[in-house]
Structure 1
């Protein structure tokens, strides 16, 4: 594991604080994105239009975080000429905030689906079929993945990152199961197509959030180990992490 004190080991002390500030901003952005996702799922579950609209309105705050952190990284690259290890940190931050911004976008999509479903004047044709339970279970899974990925980033903990990333397969499997269920029901009940599609897009958004959490875990391994692991299996990555720790 690599803690924050190690980040300045190979760099000039004059910009240690700049790097720490950026790291803290990433975690603050991550906290906001987690909150957005939690509220979007609650709005979907409770048909709370006001809460869903709050998520939609707050998406600009997520975008502002990305812009500000991006600008701070560019300044470091332009002024500090960081060494290789610190260049990896800046690169990791830039990639991570891109994924966090996209998680924010997916949370906004879920909120919009929540509004559409809540505003539907028809009795839910999915009543007794989906029960919202499968969608909420997938939501809980990917929300935990995101939280644990950010915790791994905060502690630069590669072993934890590997464990989180491996959960993406379960998220994919749950999404596939929901999709099959919805597609079958849509064929049996054509009148339900509009609402089924709302559920399907919400499930797809959750599956994508799992992918983004997975990506963040890859960036952590790259930062700490100094090796691009995008084309390795997670079992191979786990062996790499165990060997080097």
Structure 2
């Protein structure tokens, strides 16, 4: 086998391994988010410790993937689409790690709420609906990355608008609730923090999808609202 073919094959294997690691990290983040939301609804606060432990694994994966990206750039000196892929991955894992951080915030908020009482039913329904929308965004963003599907990535970006609307609705309800009954202020603030964390998870899924579009099409659409209509 000629040296150039051997090097090319090894490079392809490096990139394939890098993508696999990103998807593994994404799977851990999805699981972590789902577990934190389930704990929020069910009140099973014993799940919180497992969520925090998973966060450590996610942090370790981010560091390892970043190191791999740096080493591949140094060794292979990629260009064009290969370079876009590596740069995109470097940003995607940052958003995945931050999504994991938000899941940890949700878990800690859940523990505070359920130690003080229970999550009011009307907010439990709203939080679950918001969380399902955000978690769907994360799943589809990772699917778009796995398939290098720019069209699906654009759909995820559009879905962020609905998550933002739901989040604002929950916040308005909580503010009204606190004004009507000041005794609910502490719990309401914790619910606000959980809702904000879920909304931020949606934002990170949108960011991941923007990187997928960049990798696939070479377009930076982060500040181009017209590109997602």
Which residue number corresponds to residue 149 of structure 1? 141
Deviation at 1:188, TM superposition (A): 1.5
Q: Deviations over 1:117-168 (max 9, x none)?
A: 1111x4x5x746x341001000000001100110010000011111111100
Out of 180, 191, 207, the residue aligned to residue 199 of structure 1 is: 191
Work out whether residues 138 and 205 of structure 2, in 8 Å CA contact, stay in contact via their aligned partners in 1.
yes
Out of 168, 173, 178, the residue aligned to residue 176 of structure 1 is: 168
Which residue number corresponds to residue 70 of structure 1? 66
Which residue number corresponds to residue 5 of structure 1? none
Answering whether residue 96 of structure 2 is matched by residue 104 of structure 1, we say no
Measure, in 2, the Cα distance between the counterparts of 1:237 and 1:44: 33
Q: How many residues align?
A: 223
Higher helix share goes to which structure? 2
Deviation at 1:189, TM superposition (A): 1.3
Measure, in 2, the Cα distance between the counterparts of 1:86 and 1:206: 32
Deviation at 1:105, TM superposition (A): 0.2
Work out whether residues 62 and 104 of structure 1, in 8 Å CA contact, stay in contact via their aligned partners in 2.
yes
Measure, in 2, the Cα distance between the counterparts of 1:231 and 1:200: 27
Which residue number corresponds to residue 133 of structure 1? 125
Which residue number corresponds to residue 34 of structure 2? 38
Measure, in 2, the Cα distance between the counterparts of 1:127 and 1:21: 45
Measure, in 1, the Cα distance between the counterparts of 2:188 and 2:53: 25
RMSD: 1.4
Out of 48, 53, 61, the residue aligned to residue 49 of structure 2 is: 53
Gaps of 5+ in 1: 1-10, 239-245
Deviation >2 Å, runs of 4+: 11-14, 235-238
Which residue number corresponds to residue 3 of structure 2? none
Measure, in 2, the Cα distance between the counterparts of 1:127 and 1:218: 36
Measure, in 1, the Cα distance between the counterparts of 2:12 and 2:52: 36
Gaps of 5+ in 2: 1-6
Which residue number corresponds to residue 227 of structure 2? 236
Measure, in 2, the Cα distance between the counterparts of 1:96 and 1:159: 18
Work out whether residues 56 and 112 of structure 1, in 8 Å CA contact, stay in contact via their aligned partners in 2.
no
Out of 58, 74, 80, the residue aligned to residue 76 of structure 2 is: 80
Deviation at 1:186, TM superposition (A): 1.1
Which residue number corresponds to residue 207 of structure 2? 215
Secondary structure in structure 2 of the residue aligned to 1:132: helix
